[in-house]
Structure 1
Amino acid sequence: MANISRYNPTDDAFDDLFRGFFLRPVRVGLEGQPDVQIKLDVNEDDKAYTVHAEIPGVKKEDIHVTVEGGMVAITAEVKKEKEEKDKEGKKVLRSERYFGKVSRSFSLGQDVDESAVTAKYTDGVLELTLPKRAESKSKRIEIQ
């Protein structure tokens, strides 16, 4: 027969605090720092992979894509500035700036033909077309 016990969330909080506190990553959110991530959609057909990466607010000159075999890496330099002024425009009441790099890398199931890769950046979405490299068929070799 199963034992039934009452759940107390404070017990778990104190257990987690003392058990492995220094082993777990702690994420601290900073006020004013936007949550910048590269979100991906990857599709595949017989001839190519198509990747749609959302990178809003970034200039296309600040995006770098590297393809090596089946590994794809996307890096973007993010520059966000926001200023709020009073009605006369003379006094800055608040100023927020964020500068940094975001990156995302992933591997594909098949190698990519690096010479035929195309990239297009429109309205905050990077579209990559990654043609698959023709697979070399294995050849059985007879031993003499």
Structure 2
Amino acid sequence: MNELMRRSGLEPLFDDMLKGFFIRPMTFDTRSDLAAGIKLDVKEDEKAYIVHAELPGVNKEDIHVRIDGKHVSLTAEVKKETEVKEGEKVLRSERYFGQVSRSFELAHDVDEATADASLRDGVLELLLPKKEKTTGRKLIIK
């Protein structure tokens, strides 16, 4: 019987009936939009990579970017507080604090000395110039 209900899609309906006659329990999503991860766009031209990372509601002081050769890491401290009132009566007060991070590797080394970052309207923009390729050098033995 359970297999038949599962295949027919009636199992959630039956569960609802047992839980209170088609009334689902009330839930609140207290997580941040960032809890699922940092969304990225990476573009490349001949000289640099341009990265856009969505970090809504995060202060620039709470964002950390680390570059190590081709490897780029983003870390953000997320703080979200919500309070729902009805007149003077507080109906719900929630807080979410956490850390999100994202790492990725590029095809070329990044020139850390000239890399730049800016934050506007919840979007972090990284300008990551490609490091000039160094040619080998022949050493003269003295």
1:73 counterpart residue number: 73
For residue 137 of structure 1, report the CA deviation from its aligned partner. 3.0
Counterparts of 1:29-108 in structure 2 under 5 Å?
31-36=29-34, 37-87=37-87, 89=88, 91-108=89-106
Number of residue-to-residue matches in the alignment: 114
Write the letter of the residue equivalent to 1:46.
Answer: E
- Tell me the SS of whatever aligns to 1:61: helix
For residue 112 of structure 1, report the CA deviation from its aligned partner. 0.5
- Tell me the SS of whatever aligns to 1:46: coil
Q: Whose helix proportion is higher, 1 or 2? A: 2
For residue 72 of structure 1, report the CA deviation from its aligned partner. 0.3
Flag structure 1 segments of 5+ consecutive residues without an equivalent: 1-7, 12-29
2:112 counterpart residue number: 114
1:126 counterpart residue number: 124
Cα–Cα, structure 1 residues 127 and 9, in superposed 2: closer, same or farther, change >3 Å?
A: farther
Contact 2:32 2:78 in 1 (8 A): no
**What is the percent sequence identity of the aligned residues?**
57
- Taking the aligned partners of 1:42 and 1:126, their CA distance within structure 2 comes to 12
For residue 35 of structure 1, report the CA deviation from its aligned partner. 3.8
For residue 92 of structure 1, report the CA deviation from its aligned partner. 1.2
Write the letter of the residue equivalent to 1:33.
Answer: R
Flag structure 2 segments of 5+ consecutive residues without an equivalent: 8-27
2:11 counterpart residue number: none
1:27 counterpart residue number: none
Write the letter of the residue equivalent to 1:120.
Answer: S
Runs of at least 4 residues off by over 4 Å: 8-11, 138-141
- Taking the aligned partners of 1:140 and 1:84, their CA distance within structure 2 comes to 70
